[in-house]
Amino acid sequence: MTAAPPAPAGGSTRGALYALSAYLLWGVLPIYFLQLTPTDPFEVVAWRIILAFAFCLLLITVLRTWRSFLTIVRQKRLMALTALAGVLIYVNWQTYLIGALTGHVIETSLGYFTNPIVTVLLGVIVLRERLRVLPWIAVGIAVVAVGVIVVGYGSFPWIALTLAFSFGFYGLVKKQIGPSVDAVSGLTLESMWLLPVAAIQLVVVANISGITLGTVGVLHTVLLLSAGVVTAIPLLLFASGARRVPLTVIGLLQFVAPVIQFVIGVWVLHEPMTLERWIGFALVWVALVLLSADSIVASRRHRRVVADVAEPV
């Protein structure tokens, strides 16, 4: 196997900044989406799909990557996988919007806190990966945390678990796609598959409550028309960052977004945070600390092994 070319000077730092920017933007998304009221969550997602698709087509044109995009379109397996990815990201977007616009921002943050644990669990169940002791303990603690929230708070955290599992399965599908589909082409195709869903949702909303685009005010219209850019930019920043930094760095940075969402939910929007919720969240955070520690130790061990192998004898 030939060695990968060295990253350009400052590449890791730039990559970390790209990834951090993506997570910061994802973290403050609840504030952006709350500015879109009284728009229905289903209308927001419909415009998000349509405008993200249009923005990506513009990017492909500006970047002159139509040839590579059409190469992907000719491959049935990749098209099927992007369709599946589209369905999963739709479930994630729609659930997130319902949560953000109905006073459940704290629960959406729980979903993204839980996502790394769900990803580990899916790796064991679907990919038959073998776990060390610490990740298993983390999974067990997370299960207890959900139980505490259900029993103590009196309701099942369906928003959080739907977000965690939809994004977890989305990650599995993207893993199968691998580097064969770049970020812009992937989002373009995922949005393209969802265009009929977006059209149906707009028709239903128009007949039930009416379309709000252009009817609430200039600022609201501009913000709603920005949904495509708001969707695409963090994804592109994340893709650029992920190519430049180790997976352990991405693993640690991914907690930035749910932390910001949690802060917004508790101290900005003043959503209720009962004792049972605090205990449940605390257990999830303990599980994440264990996962992060295990990931860092495993990464260092791997680097030492690689360095030992690379040493001349």
Is residue 74 domain-resident?
A: yes
Q: What is the pLDDT of residue 305?
A: 65
- Structurally, how many domains does the chain consist of? 1
Write a three-state SS string for the chain: CCCCCCCCCCHHHHHHHHHHHHHHHHHCHHHHHHCCCCCCHHHHHHHHHHHHHHHHHHHHHHHCCHHHHHHHHCCHHHHHHHHHHHHHHHHHHHHHHHHHHCCCHHHHHHHHHHHHHHHHHHHHHCCCCCCCHHHHHHHHHHHHHHHHHHHHHCCCCHHHHHHHHHHHHHHHHHHHHHHHCCHHHHHHHHHHHHHHHHHHHHHHHHHHCCCCCCCCCHHHHHHHHCHHHHHHHHHHHHHHHHCCCCHHHHHHHCCHHHHHHHHHHHHHCCCCCCHHHHHHHHHHHHHHHHHHHHHHHHHHHHHHHHHHHHCCC
Residue 263 lies in a domain: yes
Q: Judge whether 208 lies within some domain.
A: yes
Domain coverage including residue 175: 13-306
Per the domain annotation, does 312 fall within a domain?
no
pLDDT tens-place string over residues 5-63: 444 445 688 888 998 999 999 999 999 999 999 999 999 999 999 999 999 999 999 99
> Does residue 153 or residue 269 have the better pLDDT?
269
Judge whether 297 lies within some domain: yes
**Assigned domain for 146 exists:** yes
Over the stretch 236-277, which tens digit does the pLDDT of each residue have? 898 888 778 876 788 788 899 999 999 999 999 999 998 988
Residue 311: inside a domain, yes or no? Answer: no
Quick check: is 294 in a domain? Answer: yes
